[in-house]
Structure 1
Amino acid sequence: MKLTADWLSAPGTQAVLDAIETGGHRAWFVGGCVRNGLLGLDVSDIDITTDARPDRVVELAEAAGIKAVPTGLDHGTVTLVAAHTPYEVTTLRRDVSTDGRRATVAFTERLEEDAHRRDFTMNALYATRDGTVIDPTGAGRADLRAGRLRFIGDAHDRIAEDYLRILRFFRFHAWYADPMGGLDPAGLAACADMASGINGLSKERIGAEMTKLLAARDPAPAVAAMAQSGVLSQTLPGADARLLPVLVEVEGGLTPDPIRRLAVLGGDDVAGHLRLSRADAARLGCLRQGMGGVTPAGELGYRNGLTTARDILLLRAAMLETPVSAADIDAARIGAEAVFPVRAADLMPDHKGPQLGRELARLEALWIASGFAMSKEALLS
């Protein structure tokens, strides 16, 4: 099996490999770039592993005029920036000890040792600079072809090394596994057995994984399995996965939106459990409030903008298990484009202070009720 991709021959890629190999060392592509490349999917990050030690990587890069950023020297990682592209270069390594959140590693020169410390077989594929694929576990290529997600070796052992792998199991299944094939029974059982380990992870790491999971085209089967195995309640207490597949169906061809999907899952203090940004937390709160309200579609568009109004309408449709109304979407669009024609100055000096605010609100309500049709003159009269 050979990998073919434009990024393999990109000037930056070749410069990084030349720098390492000129120093007498070997380098391989690894992980997501190989997996996605073989699947014909976009590659956003190019990871490289090498038998050169981190300080040697820095030395060789600087000698070649490549910027080196020591992003994780303790774990063997240096980020090289060539042709304005970052390349994460990590020395081959093996785990010495781990506490379920972070590992103490030792460097190695054996590709097999490096592969067996990774999470899933499809993520332990390597490629040489000419695209020749290397499969040290002996199962990665077959699993990738079959859309089968499996832990490397014993699933309990892999999870004990990093409990985030529980969430990654569901996330990678949503993105890369055959949706008709079901989750690997051994992996699912291990996730269920060790779900309490999620409590020891940082909220930022949990939030990042959940966001990536919910950005998949159809995360509903994976999230349903999370619920059945007890993982969802550990991750998002109070969340309910039953309406997620309905929302995915109602969304149609819309771009997947993790915040919209979080809104339909619900739960207790979702923003806090996932450490959402202020903007995402505010939007989630708006969607949750709107989906449970009765504000008409036009007013939703006027007060929230078309995107948020549309999302609220989608969530309401999912709750009712009906398609979203095209008429409601049109009304929301009209409301989003409408501009209230009356300003405070138009009511002064006849109205002042709190009375001025009340009169503006009264006229705005009349204008909205008219379908945004009343003119300024009609309102002021």
Structure 2
Amino acid sequence: MTRVTGDWINSPAAQAVCRAIAQAGHQVFFVGGCVRNDLLGAPISDLDLSTDARPDQVMQIAEGAGLRAVPTGIEHGTVTVVADGEGLEVTTYRKDVETDGRRAVVAFSDNLEDDAHRRDFTMNALYAAPDGHIVDPLGGGLDDLNARRVRFIDDAGDRIREDYLRTLRLFRFHAWYGDPEKGIDEDGLAGVAANLAGLESLSHERVGTEMVKLLAAPNPAASIAAMVHTGVLGLVLPASDATNLPILIHLEEDRTPDPIRRLAALGGVDVAERLRLSKRDQKRLDVIRRGMASVTPAAELAYRHGADVATDVALLRAAQMGVSPETGAWVEIEKGAKATFPVRAADLSSKFTGPALGAELRRLETLWIASGFELKREDLLT
């Protein structure tokens, strides 16, 4: 019998919450990402539990066991139970009563299969008992996970129409967990193609979150190519072009995957607005794209914007040309990032004032950069 064995399931907090619910006479299982990722050997972040206990019962059980209960999403059946300083989300079994493609009206259930049927992919409908034993209530979920097959539960079109964000989740999950040699599930792609119009109903925030997560995968090139083929990428990022993305990913080598760098490779119009990027990411994307469009040397970009931006631009320029970055590029970037302009306004204030002072500082800085950051203060002033 398959079971999960990670330290997380035996943590004092996890076992305390499970014990409290089970001793009250209710079912309780771990579900979703923690189970999936344990079986795949991937990192685990959040612990989610499912139970037949109603939210008010979970609150009472937790408080009776000396645990803190927070009604974080109680109208949807979710209570966060805090044990030993760790919060676990406990959600009552649910089944969908009505959906509109963005949100669902749910009813609580006593049946684990009802809860499994409302999930998106078979690999996400795997449950683990507190002792680690796996429960696959729909059958096939464990086989799909072992085969790295991202497959919708039941009919793909029905699952997508329940929440159109699942279109993007299909590509994201394939990028992270799918077998790139086998491609994306054909039924899933057919469901996507038949429901493209639903993407227009999604908020920019939800789309942006999914796209950033997708592009953070080790190699999302196959998923992005499938998005191009189905027309999804053109709807999400109009005027984008995925041609250079596989080249960029190859050139990145062992660098940490960076979704903003990869967004710059895709291009498109109104990207920051369409994905509701944070101000920080929006600014960085803008600087990178301006650098790509310029002929400013990488060393100067590193001096003005830092080594990370200069590295991004060097990789993206090389991807555009289909070549490796220039020999010595990383040395030049490091040199520019460490360089400090040696002249200050006070050095020129006896000869220049106002706009003339600024113009002279800029002229000297240009000379200094052109010298490879070699000219000394005395050379520049004389």
The TM-score, its normalising length taken from structure 1, stands at 0.99
Q: Which amino acid aligns with 1:275?
A: R
User: Using the alignment, how far apart are the partners of 1:46 and 1:238 within structure 2?
Assistant: 39
Aligned residue in 2 for 1:286: 287
Displacement, 1:320?
A: 0.5
Aligned residue in 2 for 1:65: 66
User: Using the alignment, how far apart are the partners of 1:34 and 1:294 within structure 2?
Assistant: 49
Q: Deviations over 1:182-201 (max 9, x none)?
A: 11111001111111111111
Displacement, 1:162?
A: 0.3
Aligned residue in 2 for 1:342: 343
Q: Is the 8 A contact 1:239 1:267 kept in 2?
A: yes
Q: Deviations over 1:333-373 (max 9, x none)?
A: 10100000000001012110000000000100011011101
Q: Is the 8 A contact 1:244 1:264 kept in 2?
A: yes
Aligned residue in 1 for 2:326: 325
Aligned residue in 1 for 2:177: 176
Q: Is the 8 A contact 1:196 1:234 kept in 2?
A: no
Q: Deviations over 1:277-307 (max 9, x none)?
A: 0010000011111112100121111001101
Task: Give the match's secondary structure for 1:264.
Answer: helix
Q: Which amino acid aligns with 1:236?
A: L
Aligned residue in 1 for 2:306: 305
Task: Give the match's secondary structure for 1:267.
Answer: coil
CA RMSD between the two structures: 0.8
User: Using the alignment, how far apart are the partners of 1:78 and 1:325 within structure 2?
Assistant: 55
Percent identity among equivalent residues? Answer: 58
Q: Deviations over 1:199-253 (max 9, x none)?
A: 1111111111000000000000000000110111111111111111111001111
User: Using the alignment, how far apart are the partners of 1:280 and 1:9 within structure 2?
Assistant: 38
Aligned residue in 1 for 2:146: 145
Task: Give the match's secondary structure for 1:221.
Answer: helix
Aligned residue in 2 for 1:106: 107
Aligned residue in 2 for 1:129: 130
Aligned residue in 1 for 2:94: 93
Task: Give the match's secondary structure for 2:328.
Answer: helix
User: Using the alignment, how far apart are the partners of 1:271 and 1:70 within structure 2?
Assistant: 34
Task: Give the match's secondary structure for 2:69.
Answer: strand
Displacement, 1:46?
A: 0.6
Task: Give the match's secondary structure for 1:48.
Answer: strand
- Deviation larger for 233-242 or 158-167: 233-242
User: Using the alignment, how far apart are the partners of 2:25 and 2:350 within structure 1?
Assistant: 84
Displacement, 1:328?
A: 1.4
User: Using the alignment, how far apart are the partners of 2:331 and 2:230 within structure 1?
Assistant: 41
User: Using the alignment, how far apart are the partners of 2:340 and 2:327 within structure 1?
Assistant: 22
Displacement, 1:325?
A: 2.3
User: Using the alignment, how far apart are the partners of 2:142 and 2:61 within structure 1?
Assistant: 32
Name stretches of at least 5 consecutive residues in structure 2 with no aligned partner. none
Displacement, 1:329?
A: 1.5
Displacement, 1:3?
A: 1.0
User: Using the alignment, how far apart are the partners of 2:75 and 2:285 within structure 1?
Assistant: 38
Q: Which amino acid aligns with 1:313?
A: A
Aligned residue in 1 for 2:198: 197
Task: Give the match's secondary structure for 1:95.
Answer: strand
Q: Extract structure 1 runs of 4+ deviating beyond 4 A.
A: none
User: Using the alignment, how far apart are the partners of 2:84 and 2:349 within structure 1?
Assistant: 61
Displacement, 1:66?
A: 1.7
**Count of residues paired in the alignment:** 381
Superposition pairs of residues 211-230 of structure 1, within 5 angstroms:
211-230=212-231
Displacement, 1:83?
A: 1.9
User: Using the alignment, how far apart are the partners of 1:325 and 1:4 within structure 2?
Assistant: 47
Name stretches of at least 5 consecutive residues in structure 1 with no aligned partner. none
Structure 1 residue 371 corresponds to structure 2 residue 372: yes
- Deviation larger for 184-193 or 59-68: 59-68
Displacement, 1:65?
A: 2.2
Task: Give the match's secondary structure for 2:361.
Answer: helix
User: Using the alignment, how far apart are the partners of 1:64 and 1:197 within structure 2?
Assistant: 45
Q: Is the 8 A contact 1:94 1:113 kept in 2?
A: yes
User: Using the alignment, how far apart are the partners of 2:132 and 2:163 within structure 1?
Assistant: 30
- Deviation larger for 15-24 or 269-278: 15-24
User: Using the alignment, how far apart are the partners of 2:133 and 2:83 within structure 1?
Assistant: 23
User: Using the alignment, how far apart are the partners of 1:337 and 1:15 within structure 2?
Assistant: 52
Superposition pairs of residues 27-38 of structure 1, within 5 angstroms:
27-38=28-39
User: Using the alignment, how far apart are the partners of 1:317 and 1:94 within structure 2?
Assistant: 51
Displacement, 1:180?
A: 0.3
Q: Which amino acid aligns with 2:97?
A: V
Q: Which amino acid aligns with 2:229?
A: Q
